[in-house]
Amino acid sequence: MLTTTVIKAEGVVEHDGLLLDDLDDDTCLIWVDSTGPDDGDLEAIGKVLPLHELAVEDVRRHGQRAKLETYPDHGFLVAYARAADGDLSEVDFFIGSNWLVTVRERNDDGEIFDIAAVRERYRRVHDIDRRVGFLMYVLLDALVDGYFDAIEESEDGLEAVEEVLFEQGPPPDGSLQKDLLRLRKELVMFRRRVVPLRDVVLSVLRREVPWIEQASILYYQDVLDHLLRLIDQIDTQRELMGNVVDASLAIGANRMNEVMKKMTSWGAILIVATLIAGIYGMNFKNMPELGWHYGYFGALGTMLLTTGGLYVYFKRKSWL
């Protein structure tokens, strides 16, 4: 689905489909948005706009690393945004002198990056700034701000795991370890999608994209500051998650040690009684105690005394 937004001094005009009649008017800014385009959409855009074939091929191949590439007539940027379901979805940008094409890919759940708030934000300032670089900034700023919601959800999930781990201990069904592995995998994937965007913004700040005006560069510094703060949070979260994993393993090892202590203690308690019973269970005629009138009671008493004494000993050492 294609939507064209033409930003002029007198107002903003939105059109369903492709509308590039004002492409030669340098006072206008044209924004073409596509939601998970099929080949027909890209071909229709490519007939009017000089989209490089390598960039178009990258759009068709999902899962690209966040990057920035410059071609003779436009720049191409790949980033990832937080979709409605909380997962990340790919967003591709083609940026020219007075036009911008956004391609919002759908994630595995069919969700895309919602730009309704971006449209509303830009609508309020279009009469002040109709530069393509500023429009690109508004999109990237909204995209990066969505990352903070994702990292907060990860922090909440880790706190829930910590609460269960330190208050109740790891459940025997291994569900806690599964949650930890899931959170760790999600954080690794999230970092892989987010961190390369820092190099993209740095490239913009170094003026490697000639279609972004000098007046808009200052805004990208704000995006970079947000990204650096977010990356610090991600690294902190990774360290905390590693600590929780280590704590889970340590608690599991301590539980095993406690079990081994109890088993060893009970084995030591019963071994003396087993030894006495084994000795007097031997079938020999010349055993001195066999003719003793109180031998049976003496053997039982010895068993009870040694068993009770060892039980008290291990109990005091907190092995039982």
Which helix (H) or strand (E) is 40 found in, with range?
A: helix 39-48
Rounded (10°) CA dihedral 311, 315, 319, 320: 80
3-state class of 246 per DSSP?
A: helix
- Residue-wise over 74-102: b if at least 16 C-beta within 10 A, else e? bbbbbbbbbbeeebbbbbbbbbbebbbbb
Output the DSSP codes for 287-306: -GGGG-TTHHHHHHHHHHHH
Token pair recorded at residue 190: 């999230």
CATH code for the domain defined by 2-251: 3.30.460.20
Instruction: Assign a CATH topology to domain 254-316.
Output: Methane Monooxygenase Hydroxylase; Chain G, domain 1 (1.20.58)
Tell me what pLDDT residue 200 has. 93
Alpha helices in 105-131 (DSSP H): 116-125
Position 267, amino acid: G
Q: What is the DSSP code (8-state) at residue 130?
A: -
Between CA 164 and CA 159 the distance in angstroms is 9
Q: What is the pTM of this model?
A: 0.76
Question: Which helix or strand (DSSP H or E) is residue 101 part of?
Answer: strand 99-104
Structure tokens at 311: 């039980």
CB neighbours of residue 310 within 10 Å? 19
Instruction: Write down the pLDDT at residue 38.
Output: 66
The pLDDT profile of the chain, 320 residues, written as one tens digit per residue, is 788 888 877 777 788 887 777 777 777 888 888 886 666 778 888 888 888 889 988 888 888 889 999 998 899 999 999 887 888 889 999 999 888 999 988 888 888 888 888 888 877 765 556 688 888 999 999 999 989 888 888 888 888 888 777 777 767 776 777 888 888 888 888 899 989 999 999 999 999 888 888 888 888 999 999 999 999 999 988 888 888 888 877 777 777 888 888 888 888 888 888 888 888 777 777 777 777 777 778 888 888 888 888 888 888 888 77
Those residues whose C-beta lies under 8 Å from the C-beta of residue 46, and which sit 6 or more positions away, are 56
Sign for the pseudo-dihedral over CA of 289, 290, 296, 297: negative
Domains in the chain: boundaries? 2-251, 254-316
Return d(Cα 255, Cα 267) in angstroms, integer: 18
Whether 254-316 and 2-251 are alike in CATH topology: the answer is: no
Q: How far is CA 67 from CA 77, 193, 287, in A?
A: 6, 10, 90
pLDDT of residue 129: 60
